């Protein structure tokens, strides 16, 4: 197993006089960056339920971060003819509940390994009758209803960082994902608003109705703060969401169960993997505006 070491960071680290131009000896995060100059893994993939064994002949990479270890050691391999680093969101044994996933460590680890474009997959509930189970949605918006999660990197003393989040997902990544989904075997939907709930319980019918009335079309437990953290580290982020159920039955019908979600995801994981592979293959190789969102910002620490 290759090992990449990230130095531990206190909760409120000392802020360099000029964190954007600090010398390697004066800024501990440069040690991480310099040690990774030869690593070239431009596409990151975070898998949701059921997608833990995506790559064959994968090479595990041991890495720690200032926020602790990621959910699992990332695995480096090939997918769609591109070099990929894959990380299972909940851990290989699904041990992290949605509100306990180490989101900051996961995104930091991927960037430290050279990732600048990120594709995530997840299971979602549908809030519209036309979003039948087995559909693939490429969302373009989120509503965050989580609480108590470590939702930002910029909670340290130092320069305050405000970033735009009007359009949470990468437009170029979304175009690639929509084209791949529309060419795939599952019903595809371009666009959707993902309401991210705290979990781990599912919604009540009243909560589902409120989420739909507020403009939500999908319900999920993990897209936030994951998507926002990717923006904070200047990563392009694109999501493929597999509809597994009608959330709480919305108005009527059976309530959702964990077994039903896992069963439907497992039944469609090979088709979703094909769409993911086509998405990764189609992602542009040049830089995107998402990767320049921090340009001109004075940061409280160096990026990995």
Just list the catalytic residues. 245, 247
Three-state SS across the chain?
A: CEEECCCCCCCCCCCCCCCCCCCCCCCCHHHHHHHCCCCCCCEEEEECCCCCCCCCCCEEEEECCCCCCCCCCCEEEEECCEEEEEEECCCCCCCCCHHHCCHHHHHHHHHHCCCCEEEEEEEEEECCCCCCCCCEEECCEEEEECCCCCCCCCCCCCCCCCCCCCCCCCHHHHHHHHHHHHCCCCCEEECCEEEEECCCCCCCHHHHHHHHHCCCCEEECCHHHHHHHHHHCCCEEEEEEEEEEEHHHCCCCCCCCHHHHHHHHHHHHHHHHHHHHHHHHHCCCCCCHHHHCCCCCCCCCCCC
């Amino acid at each position: 197993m290759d090992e990449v070491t990230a130095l531990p960071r206190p909760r409120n680290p000392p802020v360099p006089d000029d964190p954007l131009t600090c010398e390697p000896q004066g800024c501990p995060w440069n040690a991480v960056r310099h040690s990774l100059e030869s690593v070239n893994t431009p596409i990151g993939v975070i898998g949701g339920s059921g997608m833990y064994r995506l790559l064959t002949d994968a090479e595990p990479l041991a890495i720690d971060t200032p926020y602790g270890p990621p959910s699992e050691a990332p695995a480096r391999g090939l997918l769609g003819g591109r070099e990929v680093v894959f990380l299972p969101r909940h851990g290989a044994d699904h041990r992290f509940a949605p509100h306990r996933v180490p989101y900051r460590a996961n995104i930091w680890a991927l960037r430290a390994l050279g990732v600048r474009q990120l594709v995530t997959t997840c299971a979602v509930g549908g809030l519209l009758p036309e979003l039948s189970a087995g559909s693939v949605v490429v969302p373009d918006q989120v509503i965050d209803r989580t609480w108590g999660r470590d939702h930002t990197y910029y909670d340290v003393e130092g320069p305050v960082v405000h970033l735009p989040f009007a359009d949470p997902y990468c437009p170029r990544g979304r175009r690639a994902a929509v084209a791949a989904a529309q060419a795939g075997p599952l019903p595809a939907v371009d666009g959707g608003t993902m309401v991210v709930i705290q979990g781990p319980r599912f919604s009540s019918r009243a909560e589902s109705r409120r989420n739909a009335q507020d403009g939500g079309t999908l319900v999920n437990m993990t897209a936030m703060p994951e998507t926002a953290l990717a923006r904070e580290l200047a990563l392009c982020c694109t999501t493929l969401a597999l509809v597994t159920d009608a959330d709480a039955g919305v108005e009527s019908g059976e309530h959702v169960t964990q077994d039903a979600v896992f069963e439907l995801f497992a039944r469609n994981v090979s088709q979703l993997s094909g769409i993911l592979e086509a998405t990764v293959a189609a992602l542009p190789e040049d830089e995107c505006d998402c990767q320049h969102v921090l340009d001109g910002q004075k940061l409280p620490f160096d990026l990995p």
